Amino acid sequence: MSFREILNSGKFVVTAEVGPPKGTDIKEMIHHMEVLKGKIDAANITDNQSAVMRICSMAVCKIAMDHGLEPILQMTCRDRNRIGLQSDLLGASILGIQNVLCMTGDHVSAGDHKGAKPVYDVESVQLLKIVDGLNNGKDMSGNEMKGSTNFFQGAVVTPEANPLEPQLIKFDKKVKAGAKFFQTQAIYDIDKFKEFMKHARKFSVKVLAGFVVLKSAGMANFLNNNVPGIRVPQTLIDELKAAGKEKALDTGMNITARHIKQLKEENICDGVHIMAIGMEDKVPVIMERAGLL
């Protein structure tokens, strides 16, 4: 079954992230793919994440398929104008890529080519509309195409954004623009996430809660201070502290597993998205502890 079919069947899905490397040596990335194969339902292939130049997402999506993983093509609006985006989407479609995650993309000032000209000819909401158009046989200018795409298109949302309401307004616009599924920024407070889900459940879209494993109390504090839309509650920071240096990572994995289990048991959302950031090996362990394997 495809990711779309699994998600629509009502099964609790798991996606994880695979980050393309900088350079042509893809041994480690392929190892990650092999670890994830058969365990997760789809793999997000990031698009020059944090505006750091790496292998393009589309090529790595193809490699993922060759290694038995269903890819979700992450597509940002930072580096391509509307012609480039549409052309890449058509290319992705003929390669057999079925899922696309539409994002605006981190600003070039976050990355390693700070002098680059940011494109942002369109943004996430408009990109979703473009995908919807291509799925219906029309390009953005309304020209009829010979053969249409059949993408399952998704978007991102930050359930703990501050302030929240403008973020929710944008969420609604993304739904209206055709988003079928959402993957969220990392969440750490299930009660707050439930509040967000009350809003999201007004629409018939699927929501996958995002997870970033906490490796230490220091990392939790770093995320709180530096990463927009992430709020690690003090109780979790205390739990990591109490575990001590040796056991902090293990405790972080337990926290993630515990949260995933709760989401599934209480039927709070439709699945989870684990952003392992270099610890792809640990994804199956977390899934096992969450009772998903």
Partner 1 sequence: MIITKKREFKDLMENIKGYKSFFLIGCSECATLCGTGGEPELKSMKEVLEAEGKAVTGSFIAKTGCQVLGTKVELKPFKDAIDKAECIIVMSCGAGTQTAVELYEDKAVYPANDSLFLGNMTRLQFFDERCSLCGRCILDKTGGICPITACPKGILNGPCGGCKDGHCEISPDIKCAWVRIYERMKKLNKLQELCETTIEAKDWSAAQKPRTLIAREEKKK
Q: Residue 228, exposed/middle/buried by CB under 10 A (0-12, 13-18, 19+)?
A: exposed
Instruction: Using CB under 8 A, pick the residue from 42, 177, 217, 249 that binds partner 1.
Output: 177
d(CA 69, CA 39): 9
Measured from the CB atom, the residue of 122 and 257 that comes closer to partner 1 is: 122
Binding segment toward partner 1, per CB under 8 A, in 32-40, 165-173, 194-202, 274-282 = 165-173
Q: Does 170 sit near partner 1 (CB under 8 A)?
A: yes
Q: Closest distance between partner 1 and the C-beta of residue 140, in Å?
A: 7
Mask for 182-221, x = binds partner 1 (CB under 8 A) = ---x------------------------------------
- The answer to whether 47 and 17 are in contact (CB under 8 A) is no
d(CA 72, CA 179) in angstroms, rounded, equals: 14
- Using CB under 8 A as the binding rule, whether residue 110 contacts partner 1 is answered as yes
Q: Which of residues 120-139 bind partner 1 (CB under 8 A)?
A: 120-126, 129
Backbone angles phi, psi at 250, to 5 degrees: -60, -40
Distance of closest approach, residue 261 Cβ to partner 1, in angstroms: 26
Q: Which is nearer to partner 1, 77 or 248 (CB)?
A: 77
Query: Within 10 A of 135 (CB to CB), how many other CB atoms are there?
Result: 17
Element (H, E) at 245: helix 234-265
Q: Does 111 bind partner 1 (CB under 8 A)?
A: no
Q: Which of 6, 26, 35, 140 binds partner 1 (CB under 8 A)?
A: 140
User: Minimum distance between the CB of residue 78 and partner 1, rounded to whole angstroms?
Assistant: 8
Helix (H, G, I), strand (E, B) or coil at 195: helix
- Sorted by sequence, the CB contacts under 8 Å of residue 280 that are 6+ apart come out as 16, 18, 32, 35, 36
**Closest residue by Cα to residue 228 from 116, 106, 120:** 106
Q: How many residues make contact with partner 1 (CB under 8 A)?
A: 37
Query: Contact positions toward partner 1, by CB under 8 A?
Result: 77-78, 82, 104-107, 109-110, 118, 120-126, 129, 140, 156-158, 161-163, 165-167, 169-170, 172-173, 176-177, 185, 228-229
